[in-house]
Amino acid sequence: MDSETAKHVAIIGAGIVGVSTAIWLQRAGHRVTLIDREGPAAGTSYGNGGVLAAIGVVPIPVPGLWKKAPSMLFDRNQPLFMRWSYLPKFLPFLMKFMGNAGEAKVNQIASAQTALLHDTTDQHIALAKGTGAEKFVEPGDYVFAYKDRAAYDADKFGWDIRRANGHEFHEMEAAEFAEYDPTLAGKFSFGIRCPNHGKITDPGAYVNALAEHVVERGGELVIADVENIEMSGETAKGVKTSTGFIEADEIIIATGIWSGPLAEKLGISVPMEAERGYHIEFVNPSITPENPIMVTTGKFVMTPMVGRLRCAGVVEFGGLSQEKTKAALDLLKQQAIAVLPDMTYDRIDEWLGFRPSTSDSLPLIGATSRCPNVWTGFGHQHVGLTAGPKTGRWLAQLIDGQKPNVDLAAYSPLRFTS
């Protein structure tokens, strides 16, 4: 691409989506500037469960959740928490969120998520190729561990949806499960093995390595607060930051939960909430499972990483407070140690982050209407790491004037705007 057709693209957010978009844009011949208030992988791109969850297409709101949720909120052994002082502010979102729990809507969401997630491991391998970050991408299985077959049967609705969308998985009875992973022998009587998945062995280091590649290729990384997107009529001229103005031909908003206020300024209504998620890490553990394990009784994932075992999960609604909920962390510790009671370790590290969850559980990917040169790539809920490379590829294609081979209507940033 020559200098006359190359564009300068300012990308707000240096998480997995922003960095992925930057790499694909550079490969297409464009110039990029990454803008982040803290630097690469400072949020959920660091603290996620590390699983490339191609099969993670079923949203949280499903038929019957209305009946289960109240009892879960008052049971300290369930992975659902609510900061009650936040409830009045949360209620309008909750009504929209639960309004998408009907069977037809859940099927639509799962179909759209499948288009985005189904080849995630291949997408990460393609993204990382030649960047120095390849070593962090490890293909493998993703395993769902159940107390018994009856517990699996209770999840039949979700597994039927996955099967209908072409996702491959295999049942394992107790003996086969124990042979597959001796670490878990006797802990679970039934399991589901999902091939063609994978993990990132150090999410923070991975995204930082990708960002370093962007800079090595001539991209710029600006550490600053974004104050505004400056307009001239219906065209965005650049980004006003705490360190100065950055002129750009195209702008991408990809800063997770903090994307909402910027989008609102452009007339994009976004029903989105911070779904507070936690992880604990057992540093230098003596025992780790072979592959990432979703412990279905506690709805948390155990992922072996470099020098540690990360246990990530819990759903808590309570806004953007940095204050951790001790009960949520204690539950994760209790449930993880129950699975691996003989494990020794040096220490336990704790983390809290904010998943950007939209009311229909789908991200916003595409152009805004008021500003055709401003694009969105946020709202990925639990699957930001999984979806990051393909989201970045799609955005780069759109900006480069190409048409992705998927209908992106389901992810339209305009779908909430009347």
pLDDT over 90 (residue 117): yes
Kindly state the DSSP code that residue 236 receives in the 8-state scheme.
E
Q: How many CB atoms lie within 10 A of CB 92?
A: 12
CATH of domain 54-117+126-201+272-358: 3.30.9.10
Residue 258 CA to residue 356 CA, distance in Å, equals: 8
> Would you state the pLDDT for residue 418?
63
Please state, in angstroms and rounded to a whole number, the distance separating the CA atoms of residues 346 and 87.
38
Q: What is the pLDDT of residues 293-307, one digit of tens each?
A: 999 999 999 999 999
DSSP, collapsed to helix, strand or coil, labels residue 298 as coil
What integer best gives the mean pLDDT of the chain? 93
pLDDT of residue 167: 97
Superfamily grouping for domain 8-46+205-269+361-411 = FAD/NAD(P)-binding domain (3.50.50.60)
What single DSSP character describes residue 129?
Answer: T
Residues in the chain, how many? 418
Tokens representing residue 252 in the block = 């991408």
Q: Is the pLDDT of residue 115 over 90?
A: yes
Q: What is the pLDDT of residue 288?
A: 95
Cα of 1 vs its chain's centroid, Å: 32
Q: What is the pLDDT of residues 390-412, one digit of tens each?
A: 999 999 999 999 999 999 999 99
Q: Give yes or no for residue 4 having a pLDDT over 70.
A: no
pLDDT for 1 beyond 60: no
Q: What is the pTM of this model?
A: 0.95
Query: Would you state the pLDDT for residue 78?
Result: 77
222 close to 33: Cβ distance less than 8 angstroms = yes
pLDDT, position 154: 94
Q: Assess whether pLDDT exceeds 90 at residue 368.
A: no
Enumerate the domain spans of the chain: 8-46+205-269+361-411, 54-117+126-201+272-358
Q: Which residue has the higher pLDDT, 73 or 39?
A: 39
Burial per residue of 260-272, b for 16 or more beta-carbon CB atoms within 10 angstroms, e otherwise: bebbeebebebbb
Does residue 371 surpass a pLDDT of 60?
A: yes
204-223 average pLDDT score: 98
| Mean pLDDT to the nearest integer, 268-288 | 94
Mean per-residue pLDDT, 367-376: 88
pLDDT greater than 90 at residue 80:
no
Tokens of 23: 């790499």
Residue 69 has pLDDT above 80, yes or no: no
Distances (CA, A) of 261 to 13, 17, 253, 267, 271: 14, 18, 10, 10, 11
